[in-house]
Amino acid sequence: MARGSGVPLRVVSYNIHGQRDDTAALAAVVRDAAPDVVIVQEGPRRFRWRRKSAALAESFGLVVAGGGLPALGNLLLTSLRVRVLATRCQRFPLTPGRHLRGAAYADCVVAGGARFTVAGSHLSTDPAERPAQAALLKRELDAAGAPVVAGADLNEGPDGPAWATVARGLTDAADAAGRADRLTYPCAAPRRRIDALFVDPRITVVDYDVVDTPLTRRASDHFPVLVDLLLPRPE
């Protein structure tokens, strides 16, 4: 695991399965992790989604930064260490008969003055759709002015074409920590690594974990990815 000087940032990327499991366990998992940023997939995206997003954030001890319905359930939450400067949402083109997918982005500054762009997405379960969605996500990541932290449920593993598109030019946090063998899905019988966190090469990966505990097995059908980072210090 690489170490160096920089501004610390703790990030969780988590597919919460539409809050269809044990919500008390879900809240405990995130609170125990004490993250600065949570990148949520399958967050609130329907009726009263704003209220539901705020309630979810409160249960985590965080605030809503961006996303939700406009990003089709991709939700960005932050602690009070993080100030959000701007947000934007993206919807991928709809294939008839399929679920809409999208992404959320937030330009942020963390205590200590380091700027970064956080992004979250959830790609299609259809392998024919994923490459084009990955290309649209990657275009936005490449256009970010600050170092990128991107969490996603890619619905495919590191040998897939969509994964390769998103990962190009970025650091796979699991690889950087020597823990690419840690599987993220499904909790009942883990057999795939489909949940990933990618970071700008200027960001140092200090630690990486796929949190597998009795609580996480009750909280969702995906394990959360927990990563400690060091952002470049402002010049």
Residue 65, helix vs strand vs coil: strand
Asked if 13 contacts 152 with a C-beta cutoff of 8 angstroms, the reply is yes
In a domain, 232, yes or no: no
Report the number of distinct structural domains present in the chain. Answer: 1
In a domain, 202, yes or no: yes
In a domain, 25, yes or no: yes
Residue environment code for 60-88, b if the CB has 16+ CB neighbours within 10 A, otherwise e = bebebbbbbbbbbbbbbbbbebbebeebb
pLDDT in tens, 25-72: 999 999 999 999 999 999 999 899 999 999 999 999 999 999 999 999
The residues near 216 (Cβ < 8 Å, ≥ 6 apart) are: 25, 29, 187, 223, 224
pLDDT surpasses 70 at 1: no
Domain CATH number, residue 24: 3.60.10.10
Query: Residues of the chain with pLDDT > 90: what percent?
Result: 92
In a domain, 229, yes or no: no
> pTM surpassing 0.85?
yes
In a domain, 163, yes or no: yes
Average pLDDT over residues 107-122: 97
In a domain, 161, yes or no: yes
157, with CB counted inside 10 A (0-12, 13-18, 19+), is middle
In a domain, 2, yes or no: no
Asked if 200 contacts 194 with a C-beta cutoff of 8 angstroms, the reply is no
Residue environment code for 43-55, b if the CB has 16+ CB neighbours within 10 A, otherwise e = bbbeeebeebbee
Task: Domain of residue 93: give its range.
Answer: 7-217
List the structure tokens of 96.
Answer: 């008839």
In a domain, 31, yes or no: yes
Q: Which DSSP symbol is given to 35?
A: -
